[in-house]
Chains A and B, each alone.
Chain A
Amino acid sequence: MFTYAPAPESRSIVNIKPSYGLFINGSFVDGGSAFKTINPANEEVLAEVAEATKEDVDRAVKAARAAFKTWSKLPGKERAKYLFRIARIIQERSRELAVLESLDNGKPIKESRDVDVPLVAAHFFYYAGWADKLNHAGFGANPRPLGVAGQIIPWNFPLLMLAWKIAPALACGNTVVLKPAETTPLSALLFAEICQQADLPPGVVNIVTGAGATGAALVDHPDVDKVAFTGSTDVGRHIAKAVAGTKKKVTLELGGKAANIIFEDAPIDQAVEGIVNGIFFNQGHVCCAGSRLLVQESIYDTLLESLKRRMGTLRVGDPLDKNTDIGAINSQDQLKRIKALAKIGSEEGAEAWSPPCELPRNGFWFRPTIFTGVSQAHRIAREEIFGPVLSVLTFRTPAEAIEKANNTPYGLSAGIWTEKGSRILDMADKLRAGVVWANTFNKFDPASPFGGYKESGYGREGGRHGLEAYLAV
């Protein structure tokens, strides 16, 4: 038998401190109380992290405001130098960042190493390139920055979401106060060290760690000009209410329930890869995950058989093992949510299937799962599960596929699989989703804008469009 021997990435490359303060005005300062961040793969405590209070947030915003005066006046090419430098340091320290991300988040090292960290560097490179070309971005001559941006990011792609927020903000001349998610603060704190290493002027980037209260303090702070949030639709609603009637500009990137549509003339083997990548990438903790599989009824049996066979080769386990395909669920809370929705799926009559796989005893784990016999009326077809759980539905005609795909309050992404080019164009035109992938899924590029329709949020991140969120236009 060809059994792969353990191939663990060494964790000694990253030096995790026992405790971390807040990164304000270019240095680490003590916060009030502290909370622990754990490795979700074994529940081991990784570090203690300061919890920023309202006063701490105020200090951070003041530092950002002070830094804005000089940072915003720097010529674009000077700001670009800092961003290029940060991008290069990220590349140089990529292994360290990847290991830390996998430890704190639970995602497999092959993803943090081959997807997250390279995309992080690419984002900084990309927006560094824009910093001295803003006059030509299509927003008129000399577009001005907004001021201080308060940014709140989720735990699914801690470092990548940081890059999506910080790189365009800085390129446009804003300064930022960023709050990472409470379960995944460590890579943001390592990024703070990288800012020091890059000699970024103090106050341009501030990192305040904490939970919901810290985020609320940041959103409510009167001297914040811009709020950028990625996370759940519920929290997004609160933020939109909180900033209503203020000068603050807002961009929200919220939940999704994307349809991945497989036509009978699809390249089947690649479509199966796309389905697996669409829902099991990052344990399904992806807002644009292809969590609703729409299969043309004529190929349902063939496709399901191929999908199950492929799922049988998925390797679930230690995130630091280089051969792991599916890592740990990020937190106990999230695991409970996934389990609760999966239970509802079974109770509502859908049939669950998982490949046989052994799960580690400690930590938070959930088997890759598909539900068949799902209809639009099931809760697992409507609510975002945010885990490795796929709902399989069928359709008969392109019109029915469009109708079902669009029949959701969300509209973040969608996938189309067919060898017929004209059908791709027709479908893409009719799908109400911010991103439509054709014969691929979960592909990201800094030059491509990303964002949602309907309850998936507003504003775009990435590409030229992403600049608009940080300019007074």
Chain B
Amino acid sequence: MLALNSRTTKTAFDVASSDAALHRFLHGLPGVDKVGAEQRTAALSTRSIKTTAKAYAIDLAIRMVDLTTLEGADTPGKVKALCAKGRHPDPADPTCPSVAAICVYPSMVPTAAAALKGSGIHLASVATAFPSGQAPMAVKLYDTSAAVDAGADEIDMVINRGAFLAGRYLEVYEEIVAIKEACRSAHLKVILETGELVTYDNVRRASWLAMIAGADFIKTSTGKVTPAATLPVTLIMLEAVRDYVAETSRKVGVKPAGGIRTTKDAIKYLVMVNETVGEGWLDPDWFRFGASTLLNDLLMQRTKLATGHYAGPDYFTLD
């Protein structure tokens, strides 16, 4: 990676020694040409994934779903139902894999932890005053450790976009470092909220910032801001993790979240992963979909491939 090679000689993390150093490093990353990046994703979207390849992709996508409910109206009943669905997405077909994780608000973590016990499904909790992140640091830290204490093994935090857009990169960096510490052994997914960062240059910089601060995953969106995940934004993030592992030998995962609703969309993402970072990321440990409605479309297409006909929506559980 050119910027790191030429600008830092010791370790990648020296770049976070001061706000100025961080600024110089992030602004020294190669730029992103918007037209070119969008053209690339449009070209990859024309890949035609059929028959055996489609079957493989659908099962992989199901295994990558972070089945999510993040509503003010969430109740223990709703969360339990979601956990049951995550275990057996298609009760009629025992060969159907379970999802990667269930993603809920911190207050729902105890309920979900009990419901998921023994399933091998990860339990993710959003934290740090999700979705806006506009709360005092102490609140964010408590939010995080409470979720971990209650049994979450993955934390989805939001970055401080206000600080990022104002150029206070060190502040953003230090918040991530502190949250990472509060996570203890839980995996940290850092939500960039790309819909508020707007430019691809910002997305690339925020990706690097999160990675050097210790993110295990970088995630596009909260799902509460439009646009949420898009193909070009995810492409930029995939390129960032690809370059980062080449530079530091530390592999970081990617999670597009929000707005991915159909099998067709999910397959476009998998094709992009395949042709940008390769097979190493075609695994739920390294790539996730943050989604709620996507799962039923995947199940519907899965059944269609197996039986040759579409079953009506009533044959798939609504949870």
Contact = CB atoms under 8 A, between A and B. Distances in A.
A419 B50 CA distance: 39
A110 B49 contact: no
A267 B274 contact: no
B40 A270 contact: yes
A440 B35 contact: yes
Q: How large is the interface on A (under 10, 10 to 19, 20 to 34, 35 or more residues)?
A: 20 to 34
A269 B35 contact: no
A377 interface: no
A30 interface: no
A322 interface: yes
A7 interface: yes
A439 B35 contact: yes
B37 A269 contact: yes
A380 to B, nearest CB: 27
Interface stretch (B10-18, B26-34, B83-91, B162-170): B26-34
Contact of B32 (A2, A114, A270): A270
Interface stretch (B53-61, B104-112, B191-199, B223-231): B53-61
Contacts of B5: 302
A322 B48 contact: yes
A335 interface: no
B57 A265 contact: no
A4 B49 contact: yes
A317 interface: no
A270 B32 CA distance: 7
Given A2-B270, A114-B46, A266 B275 contact: no
B2 A302 contact: yes
B50 A7 contact: yes
Contacts of B56: 2-3
B275 to A, nearest CB: 5
Contacts of A273: 36, 39-40
A1 B279 contact: yes
A5 B35 contact: no
Contacts of B114: none
A419 B27 CA distance: 12
A345 to B, nearest CB: 28
Contact of B33 (A2, A270, A322, A323): A270
Contacts of A200: none
B295 to A, nearest CB: 20
Contacts of B249: none
Interface in B120-166: none
B282 interface: yes
B1 interface: yes
Given A265-B31, A267-B31, A267-B32, A4 B47 contact: yes
B9 interface: no
B59 to A, nearest CB: 11
B48 A7 contact: yes
B46 A267 contact: no
B95 interface: no
A1 B52 CA distance: 11
A327 interface: no
- Most B CB within 10 A of own CB, among A7, A110, A265: A7
Contact of B30 (A2, A110, A266): A266
A274 interface: yes
Contact of B36 (A5, A274, A313, A322): A274
A269 B30 contact: yes
A218 interface: no
Interface string A249-271: 00000000000000011111111
Given A3-B53, A269-B239, A270-B36, A323 B31 contact: no
Interface residues of B, number: 31
B51 interface: yes
Given A114-B46, A299-B2, A5 B33 contact: no
Contacts of A274: 36
B36 A267 contact: yes
Contact of A419 (B31, B40, B275): B31
Contacts of B48: 4, 7, 322-323
Contacts of A5: 49-54
- Most A CB within 10 A of own CB, among B31, B40, B49, B52: B31
B282 to A, nearest CB: 6
A3 B1 CA distance: 29
A267 B33 contact: yes
A267 B36 CA distance: 9
Interface in B254-312: 270-271, 274-275, 279, 282
A268 B2 contact: yes
B37 A2 contact: no
A21 B30 CA distance: 56
A268 B246 CA distance: 15
B53 A439 contact: no
B32 A322 contact: no
Contacts of A440: 35-36
A264 B40 CA distance: 21
Interface string A1-19: 1111111000000000000
A1 B279 CA distance: 7
A162 B53 CA distance: 38
A439 B37 CA distance: 11
Contact of A2 (B35, B36, B39, B57): B57
Nearest to B42: A114
Interface string A108-146: 001000100000000000000000000000000000000
Interface in A37-63: none
A3 B32 CA distance: 29
Contacts of B39: 273
27 contacts: A2-B53, A2-B56, A2-B57, A2-B270, A2-B274, A3-B53, A4-B47, A4-B48, A5-B53, A114-B46, A264-B2, A265-B31, A266-B31, A268-B2, A269-B30, A269-B32, A269-B37, A270-B33, A270-B37, A270-B40, A271-B36, A273-B39, A299-B2, A302-B5, A322-B47, A323-B48, A419-B33
Q: Which 8 A-B pairs have the closest CB atoms?
A: A270-B36, A7-B48, A322-B48, A267-B33, A270-B33, A5-B53, A419-B31, A268-B30
Interface of B: 1-2, 5, 30-33, 35-37, 39-40, 46-54, 56-57, 60, 239, 270-271, 274-275, 279, 282
Given A2-B270, A419-B33, 8 more contacts: A4-B53, A5-B49, A110-B46, A265-B31, A268-B30, A269-B40, A274-B36, A302-B5
